[in-house]
Amino acid sequence: MATADAGLRRLLADSGEDRGWVSPRTDLVTALLGLWFGIGLMIDAWAHTNLPSELETFFTPWHAVFYSGFAAVAGWIIWQVLRNVRTGRQGVAAVPMGYLAGLVAIPAFAAFGFADMMWHTFLGIETSVDILFSPSHLGLVATMMLIVTTPLRSAWHAPDVGVRPSLWRLLPALVGLAFATTLVSLFLSYGDALQQGADDVVTAFSDLDRSVWLATAMVITNVITLAPVLLLVRRWQPPFGSVTLMYAIVALMPGAQTTFRNLPILLAFVAAGLVSDLLIRWLRPSAARRGAYWAFAGLSAFATWSLYIGVASATAGSLPSVPELWTGAPIVAGLIGLLLGALFLPDAAPGSQ
């Protein structure tokens, strides 16, 4: 026992070398395994929403996909550390840049997974909004976010990424950031405007009493989806298609929860990503161009929710009957976007014009 403890202490003792970066291909594998992990969560979310009568045990096919995805990405991250240990590195020096938080989150996720199994065994299976407040689920989503954003942290200061990365080089970071956004949207899905169908949008904005929930949900969803894009644009000049890709991934979670019954709304959101990519190309927002950054934040939000209401109205065959709501809601979204832009970039980077 003493020998084992001594060996563990030697392994954890930092050998002092500068931490290195993994290759872009390694980050891509991490992102793809995170994709497996994330899709497993989407399948589980779909099951909780659509098959409540079949959720009588922790051991379900969708939990198998979810936890096997965790095992795959966890094993891959641990393997990157072990490869460095074999070269003589020890402690933190053996952990690649960007991978430390994900590594620490692995045993924490496993502990919350065990707690979740115990919770389901003794307290039952959640089938409604209570699933979003379960302590074990909250622990799982927090640690999962640290794991799936590993490629984002890896790319953040990687010397080969640069200010204007290619879409291929930035792809792992985009996938990680998008899936982190889906996790937030899942646990705030009681305020997710993307789960609404076209008829629901038109009906809600035709009734002042019913409009309150939708207006609130639009604000919540606007902040959840725009904030990661503003983070991305503040750090890099993202290649064309970046926001479209992110929004396509983000749309999968509300799609899974509604069995894609609201497909026109989801496609409108993906189209909004394309509009945002066009705005990035036109305005060239960056940390050094505060005015362009603020303009992008406001216009991107305004365009997103204009498309949302426009596509809903076209699909339903009529405009909402309260004009103040359907004309003013995109303006509110744009103003919130502008405020987020000012919060993310209160002043231009030093040396800007």
Q: How many CB atoms lie within 10 A of CB 241?
A: 16
Specify the pTM: 0.88
Give, in order, the Cα–Cα distances in Å from 325 to each of 192, 201, 301, 303, 304.
18, 11, 16, 16, 16
End-to-end Cα separation, the chain, in angstroms: 64
At residue 238, the 3 state secondary structure works out as coil
Structure tokens at 334: 């744009």
Q: How far apart are CA 96 and CA 20, in angstroms?
A: 5
Contacts of 132 (CB under 8 A, 6+ apart): 186, 187, 188, 189, 190
The pLDDT value recorded for residue 107 is: 96
Per-residue pLDDT of the chain (353 residues; tens, 9 = 90+): 545 444 445 545 655 677 888 999 999 999 999 988 888 887 877 776 666 555 555 556 767 788 888 999 999 999 999 999 988 888 888 999 999 999 999 999 999 988 877 876 666 666 567 677 778 888 988 999 999 999 999 999 899 998 999 999 999 999 999 999 999 998 898 899 999 999 999 999 999 988 999 999 999 999 999 999 999 999 999 999 999 999 999 999 898 888 889 999 999 999 999 999 999 999 999 999 999 999 999 999 999 999 999 999 999 999 999 999 999 999 999 999 999 999 999 987 765 44
Structure tokens at 45: 């979310």
Structure tokens at 109: 């996720």
The pLDDT value recorded for residue 124 is: 64
Taking the domains of the chain in order of start, what are their residue ranges?
Answer: 1-179, 197-353
The pLDDT value recorded for residue 8 is: 45
The pLDDT value recorded for residue 352 is: 46
CA-CA-CA-CA dihedral for 31, 37, 40, 46, to nearest 10: -70
Q: How far apart are CA 148 and CA 185, in angstroms?
A: 15
Structure tokens at 224: 């959840």
Q: How far apart are CA 116 and CA 14, in angstroms?
A: 34
